[in-house]
Copies of this chain bind each other. A is one copy, B any other.
Amino acid sequence: MSRKAFQRLTLDDRRRSLMEATLTCVARDGLQGATVRRITEEAGVTLGLVRHYFGSKDELIRSAYAYLIGQLTSQASESSKQSEGAPEVQLALFLRANMTRPNLSERNVSLWATFIGRVRSDSTFAEIHREGYREFLTVLETLIEPVLAAHGLPHGAAACKRHAIALNGLIDGLWMEGSLNSGLYSQAMLPDLVIEASERLLALPPGVLSQAPTPLEEQRLTSCAMPE
């Protein structure tokens, strides 16, 4: 029996490849279905590599969880930073990003929920979750503060944190149920819904967020203004 020809990857690539394969397996078959054999089959390698790169299966799973959380938060926060616009625009972009693909995906929610289910008993998972949650709250507070200030609303640290907690709840809940898409309503309504709801939640004047032009629309507006 001839040996399989194999490719030698860099340490980071191989690790990432194994973590991606792990997430794929967890999303498809749950934690119980994410066996070393299936993961390595998914990654196209043999099962010895898990031990070689992560020491144990548990360590691989934990690494994959941290990898996922990192992706989720950076994905969302970067979509707001890509704009140089007004605070309202950035907040609106951030909210919309959480209610549209790729952030709003069944796969992500399945993964998120599966790992959340282990937070209570596994302190390592708890640590990863807490860190991700804290970071998300911080991003929200940073986005909220200037918007409140611009409209003469209380914007102290305590008020911002309180608003961030509520807003995060709204986002998490809608993201969750929306991604699962139980068929009770269309996912397409979520972006507008979360924007309107956030306006009221922050006690902003109606239209402040929903009328905030996206960068794309701003471009279109400026370019259309010329030929007119």
Chain A residues close to B by CB (< 8 Å): 27-32, 106-107, 109-111, 113-121, 126, 129-130, 133-134, 137, 161-162, 165-166, 168-174, 176-177, 180, 182-185, 193-194, 197, 200-203
Cβ–Cβ < 8 Å partners of A116 in chain B = 109-110, 113, 117, 176, 180
Interface centre among A121, A161, A171 (most CB of B within 10 A): A121
- The distance in angstroms between the C-alpha atoms of A35 and B228, with both chains bound, is 70
For this complex, 9 residue pairs linking A to B, each with C-beta atoms less than 8 Å apart, are: A27-B120, A29-B121, A113-B114, A114-B114, A129-B182, A166-B174, A169-B173, A169-B176, A176-B176
Q: A31-B32, A31-B117 are in contact. List 11 more A-B contacts (CB 8 A).
A: A28-B121, A113-B113, A114-B117, A119-B180, A133-B182, A137-B184, A166-B174, A168-B173, A168-B177, A169-B174, A171-B173
- The distance in angstroms between the C-alpha atoms of A201 and B197, with both chains bound, is 6
Q: How far is the CB of A102 from chain B (nearest CB, A)?
A: 16
In the complex, are the beta carbons of B172 and A134 less than 8 A apart?
Answer: no
- The distance in angstroms between the C-alpha atoms of A183 and B127, with both chains bound, is 11
Residue of B nearest to A28 (CB): B121
In the complex, are the beta carbons of A170 and B177 less than 8 A apart?
Answer: no
Cβ–Cβ < 8 Å partners of A28 in chain B = 121
